[in-house]
């Protein structure tokens, strides 16, 4: 949703779903990743990328068929484990000194809860309203 150039040949998009659906407001939601896979078990070799952008689902309360769940995805009861696994996978596929950009909206889960669930500390970040952008580097 935040990419300026969705056709950039240097970007590889991954999501665990592929769909095209008209939302309740009449707009069409297209989720058409290059790779359909789970962020907890990425199909890439170790140290494949210089940069990874990790934008996981941030909702724990949303109806399965709601436009919010369709647009952003939904976490389950084991979200802390899932997010930790996602961070571990992001770091695995990053090259040494690679950069991880992490996006989180704390509408339902605070950023502090996420940071408590992972083993990594951000270098710096930014917040706009409830959305945080954090930068991590792989040692």
Cα–Cα dist 136/86, whole Å: 14
Is residue 65 over pLDDT 80?
A: no
Residue 73: predicted pLDDT:
85
Residue 71: predicted pLDDT:
80
More confidently predicted of 92 and 28 = 92
Query: What are the tokens at 115?
Result: 């940071």
Element spanning 72, H or E:
helix 67-72
Is residue 80 over pLDDT 90?
A: yes
Average the pLDDT over 44-49 and give the result: 98
Is residue 35 over pLDDT 70?
A: yes
Residue ranges per domain, the chain? 42-137
pLDDT digit string, tens, across residues 15-25: 999 989 887 77
Residue 23: predicted pLDDT:
78
Return the CATH superfamily for domain 42-137.
Answer: Vaccinia Virus protein VP39 (3.40.50.150)
């Amino acid at each position: 949703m935040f990419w300026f150039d969705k056709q950039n040949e240097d970007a590889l998009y991954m999501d665990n779903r592929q769909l095209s659906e008209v939302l309740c407001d009449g707009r069409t939601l297209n989720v058409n990743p290059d790779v359909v896979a789970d962020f907890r078990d990425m199909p890439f070799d170790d140290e494949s990328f210089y940069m990874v952008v990790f934008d996981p689902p941030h909702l724990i309360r949303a109806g399965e068929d709601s436009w919010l769940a369709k647009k952003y995805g939904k976490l389950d009861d084991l979200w802390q484990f899932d997010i930790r696994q996602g961070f571990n996978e992001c770091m695995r596929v990053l090259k040494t000194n690679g950069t991880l950009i992490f996006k989180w909206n704390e509408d339902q889960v605070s950023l502090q809860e996420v940071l408590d669930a992972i083993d990594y500390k951000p270098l710096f970040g930014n917040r706009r309203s409830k959305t945080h952008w954090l930068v991590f580097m792989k040692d």
